[in-house]
């Protein structure tokens, strides 16, 4: 009886524990997750504005990007928001929409476009939105050589609502080249009142196997222009395989290993395999001697 | 007592283990095959679904497969070092156990590299290692070293087997199938033990004994350099070469003792493998435990004292997330053999075997702690990634294939003992059962 009683109490405790755990889990799962929407706009040199939003979900372990979430882009105007388009996020939680720089969306008093990205959310995820204001602009990158010195030239222009272009003045531009992990900064140029700035181009930048380099000029997080980029290619980079033609390096893409490595390897392999061959020769001699012994026995008999 | 009489008597004694397999033996083999089949299924699962079924991800790209590879390669070098060194030093007591050390070498050397294949996502690109291999790459060093080592070890084992093969070819009382007889005849190369043959065999064996030691050190150092030439916290260490060699021999000694224990029990070799052998190999294990402990302490002390940011982070992970594994690997795995073999009263066959088993597990953990926590704490921080991607946890597929690797090792060991006596019979003269060994006093 005692056993039954204690068994019953144990079952009740376990059952109530399970119920509690279940209800707790159920309660946890019904509460939608908080989402964060990061929204930026980049004016690019092909006369377009890239609207980019990243949607992520916050949870206990940190945050993860939300896949397949519809993000709506709007132009905020005095008569109400005008929908530009809807894009679903990719595996990185990113939704990108391109619009022409010369567009019909209404600008505010400061000639700026006001844009908005909205994620409407659902039962599982909360809604989120973010705004971004910018004046469309353009950066043009070119190169020239003077007295054997190479220069990079950047011209910045802003696109007015009436379709005209005027130069950007007193803005800092970063000139960089994309590398494997990040952008390698080459120079920082302050554009003058005519919207033009130049800087000496470094001679020791490594390009691809033909010396090709992509040079990107960018204005980052400017209060008026937001993000603006422009790029151009040149052949002023060092050719990758010609970095040190007289000294083979240990890098895997160099065709020949360093001489010391080749010599060491040959010595070691010859040493080891020489011993192996010696041992094999001894085995062959053992086999031969047994044959000879057999022949001797046959002769004797 | 003449050598012939002695080895005939021994062959007569060992014949049953070659001639027949008992019920228990068959059951054991069936069990091993079942585990292997589980591994085959896991392999099919992995190949058909890709490496997503493993715990390896972008950040932690190496898991238990690499751990197993290092572990099996380690015990193989240990077998080579032990058998080679004991041969060169003419340690008389080595004879009953040297065959086991040689088997350990070859079998683990065949299994180890298979785990590399399991780790590679694109097996179709494997020939590129040979076709486009650059000797600047440590991976190429490893391919050259391992293949050279396999050939050297097979050659050394063959030389060591030659006299036994000759004896078994001539032993008419052995009731084995014809194919086995033919095998003995072919492999014996007509060796009859003439003076010339003995001299040639001794020369070749001596030279190969020296070579397998050298190769074992080089190969395991190369394996260590694969880690230490990279700029990863915990790997970029100048002592990794000798540290790996010591750890390898240490783990191999453990495997040898466990193998001695089981074969002694199963094949009733109590007369040949005595407490003396356990104590002698145990003393080797004790010395290696001291060296291993010294290297481990030196490695972590310098990292901890240097307080370099990423080393600090790694040590924090080792002491937080891998606390029990770290303690078992680096404290229990060192102290237990030191205590068991160090104190005369504790030196029993069972105690030494238990200590050896602890060493095996500890050294497997040691390899795990070298591979995984470092990949979980790289120089470039892991950002915006799920915890499951940043941290590694082996899946059932990896565990199944690991179990299959161990099963394959045991199966090949068992099958090898069904072809060749597990104890060298050709020059195992009946030594008096002396107890005057210095370690037993």
A91 touches chain B (CB under 8 A): no
A22 touches chain B (CB under 8 A): no
B199 touches chain A (CB under 8 A): no
Q: Residue A148 class from Cβ within 10 Å (0-12 exposed, 13-18 middle, 19+ buried)? A: exposed
List chain B residues with CB under 8 Å of A279: 155, 159, 204, 207-208
Strand partners, B120: none
User: Could you give the percent of chain A with pLDDT greater than 70?
Assistant: 84
Contacting A residues, span 55-84, partner chain B, CB-CB under 8 Å = 56, 61-65
Contacting A residues, span 167-196, partner chain B, CB-CB under 8 Å = 181
A262 touches chain B (CB under 8 A): yes
CATH level 3 topology of A137-237? Immunoglobulin-like (2.60.40)
- Residues in CB range of B293: below 8 A, 6 or more apart: B330, B334, B338
Query: Which of B136, B152, B218 shows the shortest C-beta gap to A276?
Result: B152
Give CA–CA dist B393/B54, Å, rounded: 9
Give CA–CA dist B267/B316, Å, rounded: 48
The reported pLDDT for the residue numbered B441 is: 33
Domain range list for chain B:
3-417
Tokens representing B5 are 């009489």
Question: Which CB contacts under 8 angstroms, 24+ apart, belong to A175-180?
Answer: A175/A141, A175/A199, A175/A215, A175/A216, A175/A217, A176/A215, A176/A216, A176/A218, A177/A205, A177/A213, A177/A214, A177/A215, A177/A216, A177/A237, A178/A214, A178/A216
Strand order in the sheet with A70-77: A80-88, A70-77, A113-119, A128-134
B386 touches chain A (CB under 8 A): yes
List chain B residues with CB under 8 Å of A278: 204, 207
A257 touches chain B (CB under 8 A): yes
Torsion of CA A203, A208, A211, A214, to 10 degrees: -70
The reported pLDDT for the residue numbered B132 is: 82
The reported pLDDT for the residue numbered A6 is: 55
Q: How far is B189 from chain A (nearest CA, A)?
A: 5
Record: contact B190-A65, CB cut-off 8 A: no
Query: Which of A62, A250, A279 shows the shortest C-beta gap to B204?
Result: A279
The reported pLDDT for the residue numbered B169 is: 86
**Which residues does chain B have with pLDDT short of 50?**
1-5, 430-441
Query: Which of B136, B159, B190 shows the shortest C-beta gap to A257?
Result: B136
List chain B residues with CB under 8 Å of A290: 189-192, 197
B1 touches chain A (CB under 8 A): no
Torsion of CA B329, B335, B341, B344, to 10 degrees: -160
List chain A residues with CB under 8 Å of B212: none
Record: contact B201-A282, CB cut-off 8 A: yes
The string of pLDDT tens digits covering residues A256-294 is 777 888 888 899 889 999 999 999 999 999 988 888 777
Record: contact A289-B196, CB cut-off 8 A: yes
Record: contact A289-B194, CB cut-off 8 A: yes
Contact B50, B414 (CB under 8 A): no
The reported pLDDT for the residue numbered A250 is: 61
Per-residue DSSP letter, A66: P
What ipTM was reported for this prediction?
A: 0.82
Query: Which of A272, A291, A293 shows the shortest C-beta gap to B211?
Result: A272
Q: Longest C-alpha distance within chain A, in Å?
A: 122
Question: Where on the phi/psi map is residue A25: left (φ > 0), alpha (ψ -120 to 50), or beta?
Answer: alpha
A270 touches chain B (CB under 8 A): no
List chain B residues with CB under 8 Å of A269: 144, 148
Contacting A residues, span 194-253, partner chain B, CB-CB under 8 Å = 250-252
b/e map B246-281, b = 16+ CB within 10 Å: bbbbbbbbbbbbbbbbebbebbebeebbbbbbbbbb
> Where exactly does CATH 2.60.40.10 map onto chain A?
34-134
The reported pLDDT for the residue numbered A88 is: 94
Nearest by Cα to A48 from A84, A4, A6, A93: A84
Record: contact B190-A294, CB cut-off 8 A: yes
Overall average pLDDT of the A231-235 stretch: 92
Q: How far is B134 from chain A (nearest CA, A)?
A: 7
Give the chain A residue nearest B212 (alpha carbons): A272
Record: contact A290-B189, CB cut-off 8 A: yes
| Planar angle of CA B164, A283, B201, nearest 5 degrees | 55
Identify the architecture of domain A34-134 in CATH. Answer: Sandwich (2.60)
- Residues in CB range of B222: below 8 A, 6 or more apart: B138, B141, B142, B145
The reported pLDDT for the residue numbered B384 is: 64
> Where exactly does CATH 2.60.40.2470 map onto chain A?
137-237
Give CA–CA dist B316/A267, Å, rounded: 43
Q: How far is A25 from chain B (nearest CA, A)?
A: 20
Tokens representing B242 are 């000798």
The reported pLDDT for the residue numbered A248 is: 54
Record: contact A285-B200, CB cut-off 8 A: yes
The string of pLDDT tens digits covering residues B224-264 is 998 888 888 888 888 999 999 999 989 989 999 999 999 89
The string of pLDDT tens digits covering residues A243-253 is 555 555 666 66
The reported pLDDT for the residue numbered A27 is: 47
Nearest by Cα to A201 from A267, A159, A252, A154: A154
Q: How far is B194 from chain A (nearest CA, A)?
A: 9
Record: contact B191-A290, CB cut-off 8 A: yes
Interface A–B counts its CB contacts (< 8 A) at 87
Q: How far is B157 from chain A (nearest CA, A)?
A: 12
Give CA–CA dist A85/A92, Å, rounded: 20
- Residues in CB range of B273: below 8 A, 6 or more apart: B96, B97, B260, B263, B264, B423
Per-residue DSSP letter, A238: B
Record: contact A280-B155, CB cut-off 8 A: yes
Record: contact B386-A64, CB cut-off 8 A: yes
Give the chain A residue nearest B151 (alpha carbons): A276
Give the chain A residue nearest B388 (alpha carbons): A61
Contact A75, A161 (CB under 8 A): no
Overall average pLDDT of the A95-121 stretch: 89
Q: Residue B401 class from Cβ within 10 Å (0-12 exposed, 13-18 middle, 19+ buried)? A: buried
Count other Cβ atoms within 10 Å, centred on residue B231: 10
Instruction: Report H helices in B132-177.
Output: 138-170
Averaged pLDDT of chain A: 84
Pairing mode, if any, of strands A213-222 and A226-234?
Answer: antiparallel
User: Domain B3-417 class?
Assistant: mainly alpha
Residue A59 DSSP SS3: strand
């Amino acid at each position: 009886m005692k056993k039954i009683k204690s068994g019953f109490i144990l079952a009740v405790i376990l059952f109530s524990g399970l119920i509690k755990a279940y209800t707790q889990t159920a309660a946890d799962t019904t509460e939608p997750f908080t989402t964060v929407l990061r929204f930026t706009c980049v004016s690019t040199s092909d006369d377009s504005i890239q609207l980019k939003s990243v949607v992520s979900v916050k949870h206990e372990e940190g945050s993860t990007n939300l896949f397949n979430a519809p993000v709506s882009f709007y132009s905020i105007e005095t008569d109400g928001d005008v929908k530009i388009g809807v894009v679903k996020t990719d595996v990185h939680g990113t939704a990108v929409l391109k619009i022409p720089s010369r567009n019909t969306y209404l600008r505010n008093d400061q000639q700026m476009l006001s844009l908005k990205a909205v994620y409407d959310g659902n039962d599982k995820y909360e809604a989120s939105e973010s705004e971004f204001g910018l004046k469309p602009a353009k950066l043009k990158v070119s190169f020239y050589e003077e007295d054997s010195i190479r220069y990079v030239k950047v011209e910045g222009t802003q696109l007015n609502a009436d379709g005209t272009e005027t130069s950007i003045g007193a803005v800092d531009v970063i000139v960089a080249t994309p590398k494997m992990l990040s952008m390698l900064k080459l120079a920082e140029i302050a554009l003058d009142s005519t919207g033009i700035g130049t800087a000496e181009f470094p001679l020791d930048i490594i390009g691809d196997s033909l010396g090709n380099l992509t040079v990107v000029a960018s204005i980052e997080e400017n209060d008026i222009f937001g993000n603006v980029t422009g790029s151009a290619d040149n052949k002023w980079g060092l050719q990758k395989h010609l970095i040190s033609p007289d000294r083979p390096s240990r890098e895997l893409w160099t065709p020949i290993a360093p001489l010391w490595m080749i010599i060491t390897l040959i010595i070691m392999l010859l040493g080891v395999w020489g011993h192996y061959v010696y041992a094999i020769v001894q085995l062959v001699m053992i086999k031969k001697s047994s044959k000879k012994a057999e022949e001797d026995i046959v002769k004797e008999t | 007592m003449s050598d012939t009489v002695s080895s005939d008597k021994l062959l007569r004694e060992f014949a049953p283990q070659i001639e027949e397999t008992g019920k228990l033996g068959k059951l054991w083999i069936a069990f091993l095959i079942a585990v292997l089949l589980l591994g085959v299924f896991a392999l099919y699962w992995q190949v058909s679904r890709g490496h997503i079924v493993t715990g390896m991800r972008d950040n932690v790209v190496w898991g238990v497969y690499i751990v197993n590879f290092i572990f099996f390669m380690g015990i193989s070098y240990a077998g080579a070092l032990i058998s080679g060194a004991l041969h060169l030093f003419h340690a008389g007591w080595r004879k009953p156990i040297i065959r086991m050390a040689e088997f350990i070498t070859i079998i683990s050397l065949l299994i180890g590299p298979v785990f590399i294949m399991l780790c590679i996502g694109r097996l179709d690109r494997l020939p590129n290692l040979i076709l486009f291999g650059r000797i600047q790459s440590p991976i190429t060093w490893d391919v050259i070293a391992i293949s050279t080592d396999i050939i050297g070890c097979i050659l050394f084992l063959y030389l060591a087997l030659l006299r036994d093969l000759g004896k078994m070819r001539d032993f008419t009382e052995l009731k084995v199938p014809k194919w086995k007889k033919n095998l003995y005849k072919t492999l014996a190369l007509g060796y009859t033990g003439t003076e010339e043959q003995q001299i040639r065999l001794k020369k070749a064996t001596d030279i190969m004994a020296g070579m397998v030691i050298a190769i074992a050190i080089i190969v395991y150092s190369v394996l260590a350099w694969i880690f230490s030439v990279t700029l990863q916290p915990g790997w970029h260490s100048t002592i990794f070469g000798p540290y790996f060699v010591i750890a390898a021999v240490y783990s191999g000694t453990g495997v040898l003792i466990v193998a001695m224990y089981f074969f002694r029990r199963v094949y009733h070799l109590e007369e040949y493998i005595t407490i003396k052998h356990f104590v002698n190999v145990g003393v080797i294990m004790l010395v290696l435990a001291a060296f291993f402990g010294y290297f481990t302490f030196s490695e972590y002390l310098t990292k901890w004292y240097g307080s370099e940011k990423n080393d600090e982070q790694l040590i924090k992970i080792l002491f937080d997330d891998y606390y029990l594994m770290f303690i078992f690997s680096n404290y229990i795995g060192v102290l237990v053999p030191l205590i068991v073999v160090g104190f005369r009263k504790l030196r029993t066959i069972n105690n030494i075997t238990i200590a050896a088993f602890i060493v095996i597990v500890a050294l497997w953990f040691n390899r795990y702690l070298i591979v995984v926590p470092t990949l979980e704490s790289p120089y470039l921080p892991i950002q915006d990634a799920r915890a499951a991607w940043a941290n590694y946890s082996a899946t059932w597929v990896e565990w199944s294939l690991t179990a299959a690797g161990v099963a394959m090792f045991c199966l090949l060991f068992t099958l090898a003992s069904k072809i060749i006596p597990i104890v060298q019979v050709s020059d195992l003269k009946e030594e008096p059962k002396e107890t005057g060994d210095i370690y037993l006093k």
